[in-house]
Amino acid sequence: MSTATRVTSLSPSLIRAMSVGAPPEAIDLGLGVPGWALPEPARAALARCADRDEPLGYGPNGGVPELVAAVGDYHLLANADRADQVMVTAGSQAALTALFLAHVSPGQIVLVPDPGFPAYATLARLAGALPVPYRLGAQGALDPAVFTAALDTGDVALAVINHPGNPTGGGASLDALAAVASASRAAGAVLVSDEVYREVHLGPRPASLRDVTDSGVVVSSVSKGWAAPGLRVGWAVGDPALLQPARLVHNAMTTSAAQTSQLAATALLRASDQVLRQTRRELITRWSVAQTGPAAVRPVGTPAGGFYAWIPVPQWAAHDTTGFCLRVRDEGSVVVVPGTAFGAAGEGFVRVSCGGDPKLLAQGLARMAPFWEAP
């Protein structure tokens, strides 16, 4: 497959496409972004940067030392290993892109969760690979038996797990993580664990792949838990041999993450106790709105993490989820995302983001409910 063919085979994200053409008064419950103010430690760090009477350079390719150290502390890395085991990137999406392009060759297979974040399949196609979905278990949990069976589908170069998951909020147990890590090592597949929602949780803190193994790569960012998507700062942590070729790709893509953003991200990580407490307070407020909203559109259960409600559509609409969501948008003036945006297993569901303004969330759910009650 040529590079031109790979690029032209890509399509816009249905998540964002749902907002295109929406009525002007529509309430957007589609995008998954924190709807509260940038935390004060980041604002203060950005102000300090603005007050400096000195040139603003690119910064080192590998990330400013302060941020590398803060990420290392967050992941409990030994001091001597941090520079090699931490790759700072322009958001977690850039980390994923660099890893895919570094470790996946045309014609190979990439395992992606179904339902799962659509960018995984897009990046696989961009690398010339075939995305092969594997089904998730009950409530979107990682099912190690299904995952392991999927490793036998052919030449699997890379496999993605996402926990807590987008869109379902499903988690992964320590036993499940250990099992998929072992299976991936045996198959010779690079295991990438996307953990951007790990710090967005209502119950116990979700497990990390690094709790059970040093193999594979963990990807995260300050976008969700630290409520700073606009900084565009993420990172990958893992085996230096896996990160080194990805660093070269990231350097060619974007030189480095913006230096001011890195310093703000450092401040957020250093103030994690304060910032993450605020995140959980904000999440509780929004989830309370969702759980006390109209019965027809209440979340079925509490997710392991994330700020999404994964809601079944009415039975009469289950055969055309996208069409149903377009009707909710055009007639009810609420933007939600059809489950089919996340894979075949998403048919019959919609994803509702509970991360925005709580008042708009309540209004949006009230507008949605009548569409569940009658054809």
Residues 239 and 150 both lie in one domain: yes
Q: Which of 239, 271, 303 is the last residue of a domain?
A: 271
Q: What is the mean pLDDT of residues 316-341?
A: 96
Given a contact cutoff of 8 angstroms between Cβ atoms, the answer to whether 298 and 304 are in contact is no
What pLDDT score does 2 carry? Answer: 63
Q: pLDDT tens digits, residue range 39-72?
A: 999 999 999 999 999 999 998 999 999 999 999 9
Indicate if the pLDDT at residue 214 is higher than 80. yes
- Residue 16: its pLDDT value, please? 85
User: Do 206 and 60 share a domain, yes or no?
Assistant: yes
Same domain, 266 and 330: no
Per-residue pLDDT tens for 75-107? 999 887 789 999 999 999 999 999 999 999 999
| 314 and 199 in a common domain | no
At 114 the pLDDT is 98
Q: What is the mean pLDDT of the chain?
A: 95
Q: What pLDDT, in 10s, does the model give residues 228-282?
A: 999 999 999 999 999 999 999 999 999 999 999 999 999 999 999 999 999 999 9
Question: What's the structural domain count of the chain?
Answer: 2
Res. 20: pLDDT tops 80: yes
Nearest to residue 329, comparing CAs of 354, 373, 364?
364
Same domain, 369 and 252: no
Q: How confident is the model at residue 8 (pLDDT cuts 50, 70, 90)?
A: low
Q: Is 300 left (phi over 0), alpha (psi -120 to 50) or beta?
A: alpha
- Is residue 59 within 8 A of residue 259, CB to CB? The reply is yes
Same structural domain, 148 and 211: yes
Q: pLDDT of 162-177, one tens digit each? A: 999 999 999 999 999 9
Q: What is the pLDDT of residues 111-170, one digit of tens each?
A: 999 999 999 999 999 999 999 999 999 999 999 999 999 999 999 999 999 999 999 999
Q: Write out the two tokens for 231.
A: 């900084």
CA-angle at 101, arms to 100 and 104, nearest 5°: 65
> In terms of residue numbers, what domain contains 66?
40-271
Q: Are 172 and 141 in contact (CB under 8 A)?
A: yes
Q: What is the CATH number of the domain that holds 182?
A: 3.40.640.10
Residues 168 and 299 in one domain: no
Asked if 87 and 62 count as a contact pair (C-beta separation under 8 A), the reply is yes
DSSP state of 190: E
Task: Specify whether the CB–CB gap between 63 and 257 falls below 8 A.
Answer: yes
Q: What is the pTM of this model?
A: 0.96
For the record, the structure tokens of 217 come out as 């790569």
Q: Which residue has the higher pLDDT, 9 or 45?
A: 45
Q: Is the pLDDT of residue 287 over 80?
A: yes
Share of the chain above pLDDT 70, in %: 97
Mean pLDDT of 18-23: 92
**Statement to judge: residues 151 and 254 lie in one domain:** yes
Q: Which domain-ending residue is among 271, 305, 322?
A: 271
Residues 45 and 11 in one domain: no
CATH number at residue 14: 3.90.1150.10
DSSP secondary-structure letter at 100?
H
